[in-house]
């Protein structure tokens, strides 16, 4: 089961600040609901987890993230995440995101194209939910990203001068900043995020079973 999503989200921060977050894989990953980077294996490879914990349901995806491209000039990040959970599902997302200036100096637009693929139980029981669920997840990602970018504004130290990176090959250099110095991206307003995550994941799990159980709890 595969779907492509093209999205545009407003960001409540200037393009430079937003780029500071976007090019930082850890910071960007942290904006994905329930996602976390657990380990960096080399310049472009990371290990991470995505956890959706909802009512009775827990889906823990462990997997790899590879940064395929980080284009300073185009303000574009291209990364692929692949993972599997223990109950027999796997999922992957090929994400290309770049930033465009907006009308005002202190806002910009996050433009994303994601190709989401799911296999196993997820695809068998929940394929029809893929689009709406991905929509919600990306929507939350955008909110968190915007919040992170806004927060980053107050931390000019971590924003490298573009000049240094202008000639950067598409090959990513996220390790230019050692993990220890990475900005700790503030989470989006916790209650809100949690509520969404709960409702969302509950939706996912219950929805997988839609069409599966012609009966009632």
Partner 1 sequence: MNAPTDPALQERTAALQGMGDSRLRKEDARFIQGKGNYVDDIKLPGMLHMDIVRSPLAHARIKRIDKSEALKVPGVIAVLTAEDLKPIKLHWMPTLAGDVAAVLADGKVHFQMQEVAVVIAEDRYAAADGVEAVQVEYEELEAVIDPYATLAPDAPVIREDLAGKTTGAHGAREHHNHIFTWEAGDKSAADAAFGVAPVTVAARIHYPRVHPCPLETCGCVASFDPVRGELTTYMTSQAPHVVRTVVSMLSGVPESKVRIISPDIGGGFGNKVGVYPGYVCAIVASIVLGKPVKWIEDRIENISTTAFARDYHMDGELAATPDGKITALRVNVIADHGAFDACADPTKFPAGLFHICSGSYDIPAAYACVKGVYTNKAPGGVAYRCSFRVTEAVYLIERMVDILANRLGLDKAEIRRRNLIRKEQFPYASPFGFEYDSGDYHTALAKVLDAVDYKGLRAEQAAKRADPNCPTLMGIGLVTFTEVVGAGPSKMCDILGIGMFDSCEIRVHPTGAAIARMGTITQGQGHQTTYAQIIATELGIPSEVIQVEEGDTSTAPYGLGTYGSRSTPVAGAAIAMAARKIHAKARKIAAHLLEVGEDDLDWEIDRFKVKGDDARFKTMKDICWAAYNNTPAGVEPGLEAVHYYDPPNFTYPFGVYLCVLDIDRGTGETHVRRFLALDDCGVRINPMIIEGQVHGGLTEGYAVAMGQQMPFDAQGNLLGNTLMDYFLPTAVETPHWETDYTVTPSPHHPLGAKGVAESPHVGSIPTFTAAVVDAFEHLGVTNMTMPHTSYRVWQQLKECGAAL
Partner 2 sequence: MAKRIIKLTVNGKTVEKAVEPRMLLIHFLREECQLTGPHIGCETSHCGACTVDLDGESVKSCTHLAVQCDGSTVLTVEGLAQGGVLHAVQEGFYKEHGLQCGFCTPGMLMRAYRLLQENPDPTEAEIRTGISGNLCRCTGYQNIVKAIQYAAKKLKADAEAKQTVAA
Partner 3 sequence: MIPPEFDYHAPKTIGEAIALLGSLSEAKLLAGGHSLLPMMKLRFAQPAHLIDINRIPELRGIREEGGEIVIGAMTVERDLIASTILQQKLPLLSEAPRLIADPQVRNRGTIGGDIAHGDPGNDHPAIAIALDASFVLEGSKGRRSVKAESFFHGPYMTELAEDEILCEIRIAPFAGGTGWAYEKLKRKTGDWATAGAAVVMRMSGGTVSAVRIGLTNVAPTALRAAAAEQALLGKALDDAAVDAAAAAAMAIADPQEDLRGDREYKTAMTGQMVKRALRAAAARCR
Which DSSP state fits 22? Answer: H
- 168 Cβ contact partners less than 8 Å away, ≥ 6 residues apart: 70, 71, 72
Instruction: Work out whether 215 is an interface residue with partner 2 (CB under 8 A).
Output: yes
Which DSSP state fits 155? Answer: -
Question: Where does this chain bind partner 3 (CB under 8 A)?
Answer: 55-59, 87, 121, 125, 127-129, 131-132, 198-199, 202-203, 205-217
Nearer of residues 102 and 203 to partner 3, judged by Cβ:
203
Instruction: Work out whether 181 is an interface residue with partner 2 (CB under 8 A).
Output: no
With CB under 5 to 8 Å by kind, the binding choice for 90 among partner 3, partner 2, partner 1, none is partner 1
Tokens read off for 183: 């900005």
Least distance from partner 2 to the Cβ atom of residue 124, Å: 13
* Burial (0-12, 13-18, 19+ Cβ within 10 Å), 216: exposed
Cα angle: 142, vertex 144, 146; to 5 degrees? 65
d(CA 132, CA 4): 12
Instruction: Work out whether 80 is an interface residue with partner 1 (CB under 8 A).
Output: no
Which residues here bind partner 2, judged by CB under 8 A? 212-215
Contacting residues toward partner 1, per CB under 8 A: 1-2, 82, 84, 86-90, 92, 117, 119-121, 123-124, 127, 211-214
């Amino acid at each position: 089961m595969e779907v492509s999503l093209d999205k545009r989200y407003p960001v409540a921060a200037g393009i430079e600040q937003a780029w500071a977050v976007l090019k930082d894989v850890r910071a960007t990953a942290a904006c994905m609901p329930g996602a976390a980077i657990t380990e960096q294996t080399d310049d472009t490879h990371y290990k991470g987890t995505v956890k959706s914990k909802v009512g009775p349901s827990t889906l823990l995806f462990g997997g790899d993230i590879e940064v395929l491209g980080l284009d300073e000039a185009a303000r574009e990040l291209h990364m692929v995440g692949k993972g599997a959970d223990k109950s027999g599902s796997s999922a992957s997302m090929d994400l290309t995101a770049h930033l465009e200036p907006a009308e005002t100096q202190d806002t910009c637009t996050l433009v994303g194209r994601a190709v989401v693929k799911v296999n196993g139980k997820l695809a068998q029981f929940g394929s029809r939910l893929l689009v709406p669920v991905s929509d919600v997840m990306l929507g939350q990602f955008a909110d968190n990203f915007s919040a992170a970018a806004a927060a980053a504004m107050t931390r000019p130290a971590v924003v490298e001068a573009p000049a240094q990176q202008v000639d950067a090959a598409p090959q990513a250099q996220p390790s230019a900043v050692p993990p220890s110095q990475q900005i700790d991206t503030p989470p989006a307003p916790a209650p809100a995020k949690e509520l969404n995550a709960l409702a969302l994941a509950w939706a996912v799990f219950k929805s997988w079973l839609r069409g599966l159980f012609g009966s009632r709890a």
